[in-house]
Amino acid sequence: MPKTPKARGSIPSGPKRRDLLCGLSAGALITGFDPVGRRWITGSQVRAKVAAVPPLKGRLLFTDAALSAAADDFGHIVHNRPWAVLQPGDVNDIVVMLRFCNEHRILAAPRGQGHGTYGQAQVSGGLVIEMATLDTVTVCADWVEAEAGARWSSVLGATLPQGLTPPVLTDYIELSVGGTLSVGGVGGASPHYGAQVDNVLELEVVTGAGQRVVCSPTLAPDLFYAVLAGLGQCAILVRARLRLVPAPVNVRHYILYYPTADALTADQRLVQADGRFSFAEGEAELNPNGPGWLYYMEAAAYYDSTPPDDEALIGDLHFEPGTQQISDLGYYDFLDRLAPAVTFLESTGEWYDPHPWWNMFLPDSATDAFVSGVMAGLTEADIGASGVILLYPLRSDALRAPLLRVPGEPVVFLFSVLRTAAPDSGGALGAGAMLAANRALFEQGRALGGYEYPIGSIPMTTGDWREHFGPQWPFLAAARRRYDPGGILTPGQGIFKPGPA
Ligand SMILES: Cc1cc2nc3c(=O)[nH]c(=O)nc-3n(C[C@H](O)[C@H](O)[C@H](O)COP(=O)(O)OP(=O)(O)OC[C@H]3O[C@@H](n4cnc5c(N)ncnc54)[C@H](O)[C@@H]3O)c2cc1C
């Protein structure tokens, strides 16, 4: 079922009555917070005893449009409305507003591009911090400094002219740096380079307590590793120093079809083991000529001027002969390959339909049986006409960030059932039924040693999260107590009870 808005009462009450203090935020909007009435006060309403909002370089918004937008995301399933939206003018705006929120027990969450699918960046009756206004990108020697609100497409816009690229990109590059680093960020290059979080050299964050801190593997490492794939529970990431590698000029792109999931995964294991491709993923699609599903490997070989040898790359693979599709394209066009599909789905409206997405990392040993079983029972109606099935392997030793939880076997598979629900449908095609199916699938996968990749829409309890983080739970809980002692950050993930531990 969709999450219901969290009650404000979950934050311990008892705010002090304050004398009238008026704050002036950019745009000359007089703003205060009434700690007794638990509401923001603006303009001529500032009569009662209110606490001033500190002066800001950016803007604090209370308009219906701003609050409604912050109460929505790519999932269009959860709608928790905040009281205010901050568009920070600089990092100090986040510092002072988080201190203000702590003082008045107001929950807060950073929002990147809002492409979570289950209210992860939402706050019922609190403050949403729209990171998109902090989007500066500066290329240095072989790294790039990116503010957290920058999109990966902008990062590439700065690095590619220097002949450099982040080693791992997500399939969709209009996501924010802060948004993907807070979940992990995996893609077809991950078998070589790990997740995006494994390619971060340094972070600048604002902790839940409102402290601005630089951290790295050697500088406050507990904070660094609590923020990477930390789902926004301890601090807001404001700047990341990201590793870069030489960018290729061209990409040879292969689509190879297989009749069964087992046949696909057998070849995926082979190409992952010898690392012959620069990039490799896999998908399933409905068989246009009969019942069931077809599977395909999507692989890429990067090159500058000399094209790769097709025979050497695919000659020993077991795809269905004659089904191979081979094309060449520029590196950026390859990274931006979803753009035409997104434009199409925007035109049909399906981009704006509910997206109850399901993602899990499965142990290699359980993958074939589990995937075959799931796919045997899955129809187009279960995922919607624009639904997507992803299936590809990763190397667990390349995934080093402690909070990105994956099975312990050397090879793990990402299996994703990315559903699109019929809008306003309470039936089998609706989001409610799909959420229930997601939960059931999650329980089956977890019983086999799988871990949710937490970007989707699976109703979770605190107990589920405790089990998810397993041996890392004490680390995360301690970091939360230390860096967000007021427990105000990112309640939409549903990991900790809001408020002081
Ligand atoms: C079309 C599409 C394709 C995708 N493809 C991939 C893929 O190939 N690989 C992959 O790994 N993922 C993929 N994802 C998932 C995506 O990486 C996550 O949903 C990601 O969190 C979205 O980034 P965002 O900027 O929209 O974040 P939001 O949805 O705005 O936020 C997500 C979470 O991160 C927190 N957060 C946001 N900014 C910060 C910050 N600065 N500091 C701390 N916490 C922050 C939010 O509070 C929230 O909890 C895809 C999603 C979509 C919609």
Ligand 1 centre distance from Cα of residue 385 (Å)? 23
Residue found by looking up tokens 């520029």 in the block: 330
Given a cut of 80, whether residue 6 has pLDDT beyond it is no
Reported confidence tier of residue 170, pLDDT bands at 50, 70, 90: very high
Listed in sequence order, the residues at least 6 apart from 136 whose beta carbon sits closer than 8 Å to its beta carbon are: 145, 146, 147, 150
Ligand 1 pocket, mutate which of 175, 242, 386 (most atoms under 8 A from CB): 175
d(CA 34, CA 209): 21
Beta strand residue intervals within 364-491, DSSP E = 388-395, 411-418, 451-452
Query: What 3 state SS string does 162-194 have?
Result: HCEECCCCCCCCCCEHHHHHCCCCCCCCHHHHC
Name the token pair of 99.
């201190």
Q: What is the dihedral of CA 46, 48, 53, 56, to 10 degrees?
A: 10
* 4 pLDDT higher than 50: no
Give residue 292's identity as a one-letter amino acid code: G
Q: Which of 3, 86, 412, 455 to mutate to test the pocket of ligand 1 (most atoms within 8 A of CB)?
A: 455
- Say how far apart CA 149 and CA 443 lie, in whole Å: 34
pLDDT score at 48: 61
**For the chain, what is the mean pLDDT?**
92
Question: Looking at per-residue confidence, does 216 or 1 come out higher?
Answer: 216
**63 Cα to the center of ligand 1, angstroms:** 25
The residue whose CA has the least distance to atom 37 of ligand 1 is 179
Is there an atom of ligand 1 within 6 Å of 445 CB?
Answer: no
Q: What is the pLDDT of residue 124?
A: 97
pLDDT, tens digit, 9 for 90 and up, residues 184-209: 999 999 999 999 999 999 999 999 99
Among 94, 131, 170, residue to substitute to test ligand 1 (most atoms within 8 Å of Cβ): 170
In Å, the largest CA–CA distance within the chain is 78
| This prediction's pTM | 0.93
Location of each CATH 3.40.462.10 domain in the chain: 250-452
Smallest CA separation from ligand 1 atom 44, residue: 232
Task: Report how far residue 285's alpha carbon sits from residue 292's, in angstroms, rounded to the nearest whole number.
Answer: 9
Q: Domain 250-452 - what CATH class?
A: alpha beta
pLDDT at position 8 is: 27
- H helix intervals, 16-137: 64-70, 91-104
Predicted confidence (pLDDT) per residue in 66-115, tens digit: 999 999 999 999 999 999 999 999 999 999 999 999 999 999 999 999 99
- Give me the pLDDT at residue 44, please: 62
- Per cent of the chain over pLDDT 70 is 93
Contact call for residues 139 and 162 (beta carbons, < 8 A): yes
With a 6 Å cutoff on the Cβ, whether 94 touches ligand 1 is no
For residue 123, pLDDT beyond 60: yes
Residue spans of alpha helices (H) in 185-287: 190-193, 221-227, 261-274
The fold of 58-247+466-495 is 3.30.465
Return the pLDDT at 51.
85
272's CB contacts (< 8 A; 6+ apart) are 191, 280, 393, 395, 411
Listed in order, the ranges of the chain carrying CATH 3.30.465.10 are: 58-247+466-495
How far is ligand 1, taken at its centre, from the CA of residue 115, in Å? 6
Considering only residues 180 and 427, tell me which one the structure prediction assigns the higher pLDDT: 180
Cβ atoms 194, 398 nearer than 8 A: yes
What confidence category does residue 43 fall into, taking pLDDT thresholds of 50, 70 and 90? Answer: low
Secondary structure E strands in 189-346: 200-207, 212-215, 235-243, 245-246, 250-258, 279-286, 293-303, 325-330
For tokens 């999109």, the residue is 151
Output the residue whose Cα is nearest ligand 1's atom 50.
172
- Residue 129 corresponds to which tokens in the numbers above? 């911090």
What would the pLDDT profile of 212-244 be if each residue is shown by its tens digit? Answer: 999 999 999 999 999 999 999 999 999 999 999
Fill in the DSSP letter of residue 202. E
Question: Given 3-state DSSP classes, what are the helix, strand and coil percentages for the chain, each rounded to the nearest 5?
Answer: 30, 25, 45
CB neighbourhood size of 110 (10 A): 28
Candidate from 37-41, 61-65, 308-312, 395-399 with smallest mean pLDDT? 37-41
How many other β-carbons are positioned within 10 Å of the β-carbon of residue 227? 31
Distance 347 CA to ligand 1 centre (A): 23
pLDDT (tens digit, 9 = 90+) per residue, 330-346?
A: 999 999 999 999 999 99
